[in-house]
Every structure is written in structure tokens, then in C-alpha cells.
Amino acid sequence: MQTLKHHAGIVVPLDRINVDTDQIIPKQFLKLIERTGFGQYLFYDWRFHQDGNPKIDFILNDPQYKEGKILLTRANFGSGSSREHAVWALLDYGFRVLIAPSYADIFYNNCFKNGVLPITLDEAVVSQLFDEVVKHDGYSLDIDLGEETIRKPTGEALRFEIDPFRKKCLLEGLDDISLTLHHEQKIRSHELKLHPFQKVDATR
């Protein structure tokens, strides 16, 4: 998993509440066996007509947000199923930071496991950001995870809070496998103490 320390970019304002995982990545696109390639299907039913042509009124099809790197959205983002594919699609499209008043719990946890930072801000602050984004073309933010700050174009800084352990994992690029490997010697030591019939190959 890639480290995440600083992240800056254009903000994409997705002004919708209760966006569920089936809207983020529709079920017909879950056949891919890799974690990559899902970005092209992100918000597919909202982005495209049935004939595959883009819907010009959807935010991701607006040319000014083509290079968007931060997704700003509303409450209860990521509700619905527990599929990690939703996070994979956001990440593959280019979003490593999300900003919303709240997230569905499983989706929130999946973000950290895949190197995406879901920032939670008060609803009033999120609404203010929406107002600023739509008024200024190319509105961008600079996120410093180490300092837990969001820097606006004006220089104003917003504070956010992240669980220290999750913060450490993002800063150091640690996923579940990496965290397990940190205890590799202890695991091997335990395996060597097992009864012969319980042992696994400790040299693998």
C-alpha cells in the first residue's frame, strides 16, 4: 500500500447524501479479479447513459473536474454492501482523500485498509466547502495527514482528527499483510514450539 502523507488537488463536489456502494460501483462490474481497473466504472449509472455516452450534467463529466483528486460529498457516504470494490474504484479513479460529514462504518474501515483517507468534518463546514468549491473554478485543497490539517487556497487551515493507529498505517503504507509481517519472528517462534503434528513449515 502506498504511503499517504500529503495530498493536494482539485476538489470534486458530489452533492448527494446516502451514496451507497452499488452507486459507487454497480454490481455488474465486480467480475474483475484485480484491484485495478475499477475507476472507469466509478458512479457508472450516474456518469453514463445506457448506450455508454456520458451524461453531461454529472459532476465527473464536467471538464473543470477532470483532474479532481479530492471528493467532497454529503452524509452517510458508502452505505449498503461491504464490498471493498467501492474503495478500489475511488482509488483507481484518482481519489485518495474523501471529505464528508459521515460515512458508513464498513466503508470507512475499508478506506484505511486500501490507502484512502476519509476525512470527517462537521456538516456546516462541509456545506461551506461546497459553497466555495462551486464559486471558484479549480478550487483545490492541500491535506497534511501528519499535521491533520486541510489548507484552503486562502491559506486558512481546517483541523480534522484521525485515529492514531489508522493514521500511522496511512503514513507508513501499512495494510493488514504488512502489519502481520511486522510480527513475523514471533509467529515463526510460536510455530517452532508447536507439537510436531501441529507444525507448519517454518522455513517457507
For the segment 167-204, what is each residue's pLDDT rounded down to a tens digit?
A: 999 999 997 656 554 445 665 665 566 656 555 554 55
Output the nine-digit C-alpha cell for 68.
Answer: 479532481
Q: How far is CA 178 from CA 12, 130, 169, 170, 174, in A?
A: 32, 37, 9, 12, 5
Report whether 20 contacts 78 (CB < 8 A). Answer: yes
The span from the CA of 96 to the CA of 90, in Å, is 8
Residue range 90-108: mean pLDDT, rounded: 98
Report whether 116 contacts 96 (CB < 8 A). Answer: yes
Report whether 91 contacts 72 (CB < 8 A). Answer: no
Average model confidence (pLDDT) across the chain: 90
Residue with cell 474501515: 109
Residue range 27-37: mean pLDDT, rounded: 86
Q: Which residue has the higher pLDDT, 183 or 111?
A: 111
Q: Which residue has the higher pLDDT, 81 or 164?
A: 164
Q: Global pTM?
A: 0.87
Q: What is the pLDDT of residue 115?
A: 95
Residue range 55-78: mean pLDDT, rounded: 96
User: Which run of H or of E encompasses 70?
Assistant: strand 68-73
Flag whether pLDDT at 111 surpasses 60: yes
Q: Which domains does the chain have, with CATH numbers?
A: 6-173 (3.20.19.10), 175-204 (no CATH)
The span from the CA of 71 to the CA of 97, in Å, is 7
